[in-house]
Amino acid sequence: MILLPADQRTAIAAHVEADYPSEACGLLLGQRRNDRVLISQAVASANVSDQPHHRFEIDPVLRLRLQKAAREGGAAILGHYHSHPNGAARPSATDRAGIYEPDLVWLIAAVKDGSLLEIAAYTPWADGDGFDEVELSENLGTTK
């Protein structure tokens, strides 16, 4: 299960709606506890892809900065989020081809006409050939 607090869900919603119709993306910080992923902060990134309406690429400078902060005691990078403008909250073929780190959690936000429809969570298969959907919850003990 992935825990996404309501305030961080709101932050992701604001980001993906503001960047519509481009894809928006960001990194997810937090901690793992047993089989749970507890997200403490969603950090918006610039989408540095040269095709930002169809692809996303997280700013490598931001990633390096957050990795350095994690080494110095900050929250770990557990995953990332990106939006599908006028698409579904499901991994695309491009997403499947873009699995390089099977440990990372993926959140995909469907945005329709500038408004967030839904956010779904996925973990890549170890072989990188696909994804499993995982439960996304706002609170421990409740389900979406």
Given a contact cutoff of 8 angstroms between Cβ atoms, the answer to whether 97 and 77 are in contact is no
Query: Which member of 67, 86, 92, 123 binds Zn ion (CB under 5 A)?
Result: 92
- Which residue is it, tokens 């839904």? 118
Distances (CA, A) of 95 to 11, 34, 65, 110: 22, 27, 24, 14
Taking residue 93's Cβ as centre, other Cβ atoms within 10 Å add up to 7
86 counts as binding Zn ion under rule CB under 5 A: no
Tokens standing for residue 24: 């928006």
Which segment (9-17, 70-78, 95-103, 113-121) binds Zn ion by CB under 5 A?
95-103
Residue with smaller CB distance to Zn ion, 7 or 101: 101
Residue with smaller CB distance to Zn ion, 9 or 84: 84
Query: Which member of 16, 95, 111, 136 binds Zn ion (CB under 5 A)?
Result: 95
Contacts with Zn ion, residue ranges (CB under 5 A): 92, 95
